Amino acid sequence: MNWSAVKSIYVYEMTRFFRTIAQSLISPVVSTSLYFVVFGAAIGSRMQEIEGVSYGAFIVPGLIMLTVMTQSISNASFGIYFPKFIGTFYELLSAPVNFIEIVMGYAGAAATKAFLIGLIILGTSFLFVDITIAHPLAMLAFLVLTCLSFALFGFILGIWADNFEQLQLIPLLVITPLIFLGGSFYSITMLPPVWQTISLFNPVVYLISGFRWAFFGMSDVPVVTSLFAIAVFFAICLGFVGWIFRTGWRIRQ
């Protein structure tokens, strides 16, 4: 392993993040606060408690997940697409690194950024609602796993994309709907039975449910199923990355 290379990529990417730290943090914090104002205060006051949790508090895990997933994907996909776009990718190709090291550097940095943003949103939400976290360690574990899996997914997206439109299309058309329909703002038990069944095909449901369990000890699906789901998603992304590594897909002519 060329750990020096992994570290270099990671540090370089994190430096970029900290260089634009204001932009990187302000937008997620502002939009989360807006969600709290709209859903928590305005609508939430008319909503009944869900299994003993106020609606304002209930949406916190979903909000964090929403941001963390989109941030992981956009950071990682942009991180690896950018060198391709401006042509500096040649250096990675000519360096004594293998694909795994490149992934660790880029996806690792993207996951770290998303994780930090997730923690900041959690901090922000304490300003709006009272929450106690039932299983703090499980909460962190879910958060880390989600950041990593979605960063891997974003990395694949960035390798695949040929232009900026493609880079934004997939998150917009696929990921955002899955996240919104994944129970970020509601419990899927609130849906009619048909939609409950359909929802079970949405992988994001499992992630949000598991994450919510870590907060409140309640979940739409058993927490073991959630863990299993995220492990499967992680494994699929990892397998795909491994395949890219072997075939050089979209990397070397």
Instruction: By CB under 8 A, name the binding residues for another protein.
Output: 2, 4-5, 7-9, 11-12, 15-16, 19, 82-83, 86-88, 90-97, 248, 252-253
- Alpha carbon distances (Å) from 143 to 109, 112, 118, 119, 174: 15, 11, 8, 9, 21
Q: Least distance (Å) from another protein to the CB of residue 6?
A: 9
Q: Which helix (H) or strand (E) holds 95?
A: none
Q: Least distance (Å) from another protein to the CB of residue 243?
A: 16
DSSP state letter for 161: -
Q: Which long-range contacts (CB under 8 A, 24 or more apart) does 189-197 make?
A: 189/220, 190/50
Of 96 and 192, the one with the shorter C-beta distance to another protein is 96
Of 91 and 162, the one with the shorter C-beta distance to another protein is 91
Nearest to 103 by CA among 251, 205, 210: 251
Q: Least distance (Å) from another protein to the CB of residue 58?
A: 41
Q: Least distance (Å) from another protein to the CB of residue 240?
A: 20
Q: Least distance (Å) from another protein to the CB of residue 1?
A: 10
Q: What's the rounded Cα separation, in Å, for the pair 183 and 8? A: 38
Of 97 and 122, the one with the shorter C-beta distance to another protein is 97
CA 249 to chain centre: 24
Report CA dihedral (155, 233, 60, 212) to the nearest 10 degrees: -160
Of 234 and 245, the one with the shorter C-beta distance to another protein is 245
